[in-house]
Structure 1
Amino acid sequence: MTHEQLAAGLAPRLALLRALAAEQHVTRAADRLGVPQPTVSRWLAALSAELGTPVIVRNGRGVRLTRAGQILAEAAEQALGVLETGCRRAIGEADPERGQVVLAFLHTMGGVRVPELLRAFRAQHPEVRFALEQAAHEEMLARVRAGDVDLALTAPLPVDQPDLECQPLYEQPLLLTVPTGHPLAGRRRVRLAELADEQFVGMKAGYGLRRITDGLCEQAGFLPVLAFEGEEVDTVRGLVAAGLGVALLPQSDTALNGVVELALSPSASRTIGLVWSAAAPLPPAAELFRAFVSGSSERT
């Protein structure tokens, strides 16, 4: 018998060895586990036969573990400690008030919006845990499909993708961001078609904001020429401030240096919403958070 085969057969009997180490008595160990004593005796006999040496010996009116039994009992203590921790976590996952939510969101939402949501949610559900991820739009959708992420807060929302479900939450205005010395900087509103000859800076392909930018420009009758591409909105805004191009970006949450934000005509926005897999139900804690976020968007 190999050690892998022995370990596989031993797994159901780990708790017995730990109980015997503590009780030093077969009957008390059986009572502690809620297992009939004849079953315990059969397990011990089979284990001794598999090992080729006894795991217990008589000690007065009780029993004591042999050296082989003690070695396995010590291993059982460690293994069951890890297993019980896993069981506690698994039970917690079934409890909406104690489970974990794996939430992915756009880089543009990490500054204010997501922290505000988490603070409001945790005020009502303080024991729910979060694993947070930031990624590009397409990467988030792929991780939702794979089951690695429970919920993605993203834009644009997927269309005609039956393996995904989504819920719009709110519209986020998009503005034209130009350097302070740009000829358009003194305007209050700019038609998108006026930008056909401008150099753009923007997000890399695969990011939702890049897809939206390309779509809006195409509707205005041109394809944007991107001089620089980035992965962070703050980086793109910095490129604009350096005079390297213009960009379509969400309104900044902080004071701006070196750039001016202008309204577009017609106005432009992106729909922010939650996305989750249609292939399996959300874990209870994730469903609780989804309902909370949906209710928050309706109230605002």
Structure 2
Amino acid sequence: MTHEQLAAGLAPRLALLRALAAEQHVTRAADRLGVPQPTVSRWLAALSAELGTPVIVRNGRGVRLTKAGQILAEAAEQALGVLEAGCRRAIGEADPERGQVVLAFLHTMGGVRVPELLRAFRTSHPQVRFALKQAAHEEMLARVRAGDVDLALTAPLPVDEPDLECLPLYEQPLLLTVPTGHALAGRRRIRLEEIADEQFVGMKAGYGLRRITDDLCERAGFLPVLAFEGEEVDTVRGLVAAGLGVALLPQSDTALNGVVELGLTPTASRTIGLVWAAGVPLPPAAELFRAFVADQR
């Protein structure tokens, strides 16, 4: 059997492999798909026979994918992401005002920025639906490439990545956040070189803010020593308040408790913008939203 023949036969069973990867249980996967369990069992047996190796093995009361099954499930996830995006575009063509936008955004944007943007958009387009996803910067870009996400609101914006397009929206100031009892808390501004020996707390690798922090410190002549890493800006700010280090963070939208924000010399900021896949038509509802955001600049 050629790989083209295998792919043609596999196409109807892509959703099954994705469901098995998620559920790790044949009955639950069958229920998720609305397919009788005997049918699922026959599909799995036929696929294993065609491959010449099992795609699942028993694991207690459930199942787990074999290496071959995992490879096919990963391919199924990518393929279905593209197919589902195409289905949404096709449905949206009938009525863009009732379509759906899959929007990913940084955790730091969820408190005020994104809700305000959505509220303003829905004033003119009340029937458009949104699927909202929060993720790390690198994960968002990967999901845009895979077709799982229409638009990502993120920073830093991609450079020299021809498979992605972006729209810069605004500059968000970055400040040094220190505990209220810190020796520098009385200062208004500071140069990064002055804190080269301080312990930092920051975001985990893969987050855009972590990359920006590392780049700014490197330009100042040092690499930050991170005592703690987190996945939420509020968590990082809380670690600073506990006296566990200093951090480079966006200016807070809410009242500060236990920390002081100091300006940087020279000033630092990050460019927030929208990112989407190059050369791939956006669903009509997502195109409406992108045009609306562009007009708000």
Map Cα deviations across residues 29-55 of structure 1 (whole Å, 9 max, x no partner): 999999999999999999999999999
RMSD: 13.1
- What is aligned with 2:262? 262
TM-score, normalised to structure 1, is 0.70
162-171 vs 50-59, which moves further: 50-59
Residue pair 1:101, 1:129 contacting (<8 A) in 2 also: yes
Map Cα deviations across residues 41-89 of structure 1 (whole Å, 9 max, x no partner): 9999999999999999999999999999999999999999999999999
Residue pair 1:175, 1:264 contacting (<8 A) in 2 also: yes
Alignment CA distance shift 1:163-1:7 (3 Å) = closer
Residue pair 1:27, 1:37 contacting (<8 A) in 2 also: yes
Alignment CA distance shift 1:46-1:284 (3 Å) = same
What SS does structure 2 have at the residue aligned with 1:14?
Answer: helix
Deviation at 1:210, TM superposition (A): 0.1
**Structure 2: distance between partners of 1:198 and 1:62:** 50
Residue pair 2:16, 2:29 contacting (<8 A) in 1 also: yes
What SS does structure 2 have at the residue aligned with 1:184?
Answer: coil
239-248 vs 7-16, which moves further: 7-16
1:236-275 equivalences under 5 Å are 236-275=236-275
**Structure 2: distance between partners of 1:209 and 1:125:** 32
What SS does structure 2 have at the residue aligned with 1:103?
Answer: strand
85-94 vs 214-223, which moves further: 85-94
Alignment CA distance shift 1:30-1:156 (3 Å) = closer
Deviation at 1:200, TM superposition (A): 0.2
Map Cα deviations across residues 162-206 of structure 1 (whole Å, 9 max, x no partner): 000001000000000000000000000011111100000000000
Map Cα deviations across residues 213-258 of structure 1 (whole Å, 9 max, x no partner): 0000000000000000000000000000000000000011111110
Residue pair 2:192, 2:264 contacting (<8 A) in 1 also: yes
- What is aligned with 1:222? 222
**Structure 1: distance between partners of 2:56 and 2:225:** 79
Alignment CA distance shift 1:51-1:246 (3 Å) = closer
Deviation at 1:279, TM superposition (A): 3.4
Alignment CA distance shift 1:203-1:12 (3 Å) = closer
Deviation at 1:7, TM superposition (A): 21
Identity across the alignment (%): 92
Alignment CA distance shift 1:126-1:220 (3 Å) = same
Gaps of 5+ in 1: none
For these two proteins, the number of residue pairs brought into alignment is 297
**Structure 1: distance between partners of 2:66 and 2:193:** 86
Alignment CA distance shift 1:260-1:282 (3 Å) = same
Deviating 4+ runs (over 3 angstroms): 1-94, 297-300
What SS does structure 2 have at the residue aligned with 1:97?
Answer: helix
Residue pair 2:85, 2:148 contacting (<8 A) in 1 also: no
Deviation at 1:91, TM superposition (A): 3.3
Gaps of 5+ in 2: none
Deviation at 1:96, TM superposition (A): 1.9
Alignment CA distance shift 1:19-1:147 (3 Å) = closer
TM-score, normalised to structure 2, is 0.70
Residue pair 1:201, 1:245 contacting (<8 A) in 2 also: yes
Alignment CA distance shift 1:298-1:191 (3 Å) = farther
Residue pair 1:93, 1:100 contacting (<8 A) in 2 also: no
**Structure 2: distance between partners of 1:217 and 1:68:** 44
Alignment CA distance shift 1:260-1:126 (3 Å) = same
Residue pair 2:56, 2:66 contacting (<8 A) in 1 also: yes
75-84 vs 184-193, which moves further: 75-84
Alignment CA distance shift 1:157-1:36 (3 Å) = closer
**Structure 1: distance between partners of 2:78 and 2:163:** 41
What SS does structure 1 have at the residue aligned with 2:77?
Answer: helix
What SS does structure 2 have at the residue aligned with 1:85?
Answer: helix
**Structure 2: distance between partners of 1:49 and 1:128:** 45
Alignment CA distance shift 1:72-1:233 (3 Å) = closer
Alignment CA distance shift 1:101-1:23 (3 Å) = closer
